Structure 1
Amino acid sequence: MTQINTLDPGASPLDYFGFELRRYREAAGLTQKQLGGIVYCTGSLVGQIETARKLPTLPFSERADMALETDGLLARLYVLVMRSQLPAWFQQVAELESRATEICTFQTHMVHGLLQTREYARAVLGVLDDTDLDDRTEVRLARQRIFDKDEPPVFWMILGEAALHQEIGGRETMRGQLERLLSFERNPRINVQVLPFTAGAHAGLQGPFNLYRVPGDPTIVYTEGYGSGHPTANPDTVKDCALRYDHLQAAALSLKDSAELIRRVMEERYGERRDSGGEPVA
C-alpha cells in the first residue's frame, strides 16, 4: 500500500495528482476531512486520492481547484491521469484523439467510445470483467473531453444498423444511448450516419476502422483486435481505407434520414412499455 510520506510524484500521473492535491491542501491549512466537506466527499476519499489509491473524478478535480485556488491545475492533471490509466496499447490512440482535427470511424455493432453514455460504456466494459468497473468507465468517458476544447475535432461516425438493435445494457440503457446520438443532430462537428441493412454488401465488411487526421502529420488508420490495437500510417493502407470510408458514406443514410431511423428504433424497440391498464412495465 502506498504511504503518503513516501509518495513519489514522478512515479505516475496519478501519484503526481495525489502529491499536488496534498501539497495544496496543506498549504491551505485544511485537513482531509475539511476539504472533503468543501468538495462534497469524505475525508477518507480525499486521503485515498492523495495516496494514489483512488482515481479522481472530473467534478472532484474541478471543485478541489476552486477550493484550493489552484487555477485549474488539478482539472488539467485529471486528463493526464485518465489517459495514463488506459491500456498501454491504447494510449497512442488516445493521444491521436486529443490531437486530431478530424476523426472518421466506421463501427459495425457498437457505438464508438467517444459517443457512449456512462451506462452503455459500463455495460460494454463489464463483459467478462467487472473489476474496477467504475474507474474504467470514468477513464473511457474522460476521452470525451476532446469535444470540450475551444476547437474540438470534426467527428464522423458511420454506424451499422445492427448496433441500434444490439441490446447492450438493457432497454433503458439503449434508449439513453440512442437519445445521446440524437442530441448531436444540430452539432455540425459531431455527425452520425447509419449504414442500413438494405445497403447489403459494402466496403466495410472486413470490420471497423478509424481514420485520424492531424495537422502536419500523416493520416493514421487504426484497427483493433482482442487486447491489441494497430495504428498505421502506411500510405497504401491509408489510401485504401480512405476510399472505403468514402464508399461507406455514400451507402449510408443521410444525416437527417439516419436520425429518423435512430428515433424510430428508439421508440419502437426501446420505448416505454405499458400494460393493459396503461401502467409502465419493466
Structure 2
Amino acid sequence: MPSTVTSRRKQLGNEIRRARSAAGMTQQEVADFLGCGQGKVNKIESGAVSVKTAELKRLLELFGAGKAESDLMLELASSSSTQRGQWSGYRSAIPQWFRTFTDLEPAATEVLSWHGERIPGPLQSEHYMLTQFTEDRVADVTPLVRNRLDRRKVFDLDRPPYYRFILGEGAFHRMPGGAQPAVALDQVEHLLQLERRYPRVFVHVLPFDVRLPFVPNDFTIMRFGDGTKDFIFVEHVAGGLYIDDDQDFELFVDAWDRLRGAALERHDTVDHLRALADRFRAGMDF
C-alpha cells in the first residue's frame, strides 16, 4: 500500500532537515532565505505543513542537493499534495491532533501500543464503543463509531503492520460507566475473535501481580519502512504529543521492553481472556 499524504509529507520534512544539516545551515538561516519565520521551517521539517514546489526547488539549489536527492524530494512533494489518506471519510470526527496518527497508521510496518486501564480504539467492540460514547454524553455517536470501525480496516490490508498491544489487567475491570459484566464479556469475546482472525495482531495482558517498580502512562511506538521517521505518540487530556527525538525514542523502547518482558505470552493471554469471559458470563463482581 502506498504511504498516506501525511506519511509522505513527514518523509519529505525529514529529507529537507537532513539536506539542511548536511549544508551546515540553521532553520533561521533557511527562514531568512525564504523570507518567512523560523516556525514555518520547523513545521515543514516536522511534516506539519506542506512546502510549495517553487520553494522546494529554491531550497534544493541552496543546499546543493544532488540529482537523486532532488528527484526524491520533488516526487514526495508532488505525491503528498495529491494523494488522500486511507481513512479520510470521517475525518471530521477525528480531533486535529490525532489525524497525523490515523493517517500514518496504515503506512506503519510495526505498531507497539501500551494501555493501562482502557481498551484502545482498534480493539474496541461495538458494545464497548457505544457505552463509552453514551457515558461521555456524545450527541451523535454515529460518525465516531464509523471512524473506529474504519480504523480497524488496517488489520485487513494486504500488508498490514505488525500490531502488538499490551493491555493492563485493569483495562478489563474498568469498563465505561462502571462495572458492567455484559460490556466486559462482549469486549473479551471480541478480542478472542481478533486473535483468531488476524495473525499480525498480538495482544498481551499485563497482570496486576507482575514485579515492576511502576508502569508508565499510555504510549504507542510507530515504526516505518518507507523512510518516515519513527515516532512515539502520547495521548493526554488536552491532545496528543508526537516524539521523534532519538534519545527520547529509545527511552520509550526501553519502557516497552520492560512491559513486554512482564506481560503474558500470547497463548497465556488467550487462556487469561477465556477465564475472564467465564467470570463475566457468570455475572461475577469485578
**Do both proteins adopt the same fold according to a TM-score greater than 0.5, normalized to the shorter chain?**
yes
Alignment gaps of 5+ in structure 2: 1-83
Give, in whole Å, the separation in 2 of the partners of 1:233 and 1:192.
25
TM-score scaled by structure 2? 0.64
Give matches, 1:183-222, under 5 Å.
183-186=193-196, 187-202=198-213, 205-215=215-225, 216-222=227-233
Give, in whole Å, the separation in 2 of the partners of 1:95 and 1:153.
13
Give matches, 1:18-33, under 5 Å.
none
Give, in whole Å, the separation in 2 of the partners of 1:77 and 1:155.
20
Q: Say which of 118, 121, 125 aligns to 1:117.
A: 125
What's the Cα RMSD here? 2.1
Confirm or deny: 8 A CA contact 1:213 1:220 kept in the other structure. yes
Give, in whole Å, the separation in 2 of the partners of 1:177 and 1:138.
17
1:226 equivalenced with 2:237 (yes/no): yes
Q: Secondary structure at the match of 1:155?
A: strand
Q: Say which of 252, 259, 262 aligns to 1:251.
A: 262
Task: Give the match for residue 157 of structure 2.
Answer: 149
Q: Say which of 76, 89, 94 aligns to 1:86.
A: 94
Give, in whole Å, the separation in 1 of the partners of 2:276 and 2:232.
31
Task: Give the match for residue 179 of structure 1.
Answer: 189
Give, in whole Å, the separation in 2 of the partners of 1:110 and 1:99.
25
Q: Which moved more, 1:130-139 or 1:259-268?
A: 130-139
Confirm or deny: 8 A CA contact 2:162 2:200 kept in the other structure. yes
Shift of 1:202: 4.7
Taking a change above 3 Å as real, the CA distance of residues 245 and 86 of structure 1, as seen in their structure-2 partners, is same
Give, in whole Å, the separation in 2 of the partners of 1:189 and 1:78.
19
Taking a change above 3 Å as real, the CA distance of residues 151 and 180 of structure 1, as seen in their structure-2 partners, is same
Q: Say which of 153, 160, 167 aligns to 1:159.
A: 167
Confirm or deny: 8 A CA contact 2:90 2:143 kept in the other structure. no
Higher relative contact order (CA 8 A, sep 6+): 2
Q: How many residues align?
A: 197
Confirm or deny: 8 A CA contact 2:135 2:176 kept in the other structure. no
Give, in whole Å, the separation in 2 of the partners of 1:84 and 1:133.
13
Tell me the percent identity: 28
Alignment gaps of 5+ in structure 1: 1-75, 275-282
Task: Give the match for residue 96 of structure 1.
Answer: 104
Detail structure 1 runs of 4+ shifted over 6 Å in the superposition: none
1:261 equivalenced with 2:272 (yes/no): yes
